Amino acid sequence: MSTGLECFVVEREKSQWFYILEQNGSPKGCWDWLDYADAFGPFVSEEVALKHLFNHHANPGGHSVIRKEHFDAWPTSGKEKISGLMDHPMECSKGVDKYGIFWI
């Protein structure tokens, strides 16, 4: 069973990955779910970001991967929202070593 929350996994720069997850309790059908989302990261790879997502949150039911070249080509308004979230991620990177292994 999944939560049905929206989720992006974003490559901001080489070896700098984040995931953007819609908040629990956000209004369904809202104009833009990114207004009710949190960023987590940075992580050294997509795989490490997904491992953190699956170890710390209920299954959102899927995710979209946005690689750097696609993120760079996004329309300005969407990119600014996502960049703003990634500029202020939720605290989660403590305990991540230089190899991207998350220690709890």
> What is the tally of structural domains in the chain?
1
Q: Show the 3-state SS of 68-85.
A: HHHHHCCCHHHHHHHHHH
* CA angle 101–1–53, rounded 5-degree value: 20
Identify the domain containing residue 28 by its residue range: 7-87
Inside any domain, residue 95: no
Nearest to 102 by CA among 59, 45, 32: 45
Q: pLDDT tens across 48-60, in order? A: 999 999 999 999 9
| Residue 57 domain-assigned (yes or no) | yes
What's the pLDDT score for residue 95? 53
Give the three-class secondary structure for 101: coil
Going from the first residue of the chain to its last (104 residues), give the mean pLDDT of each consecutive group of 10, the final group possibly shorter: 93 96 85 91 95 93 95 90 93 55 48
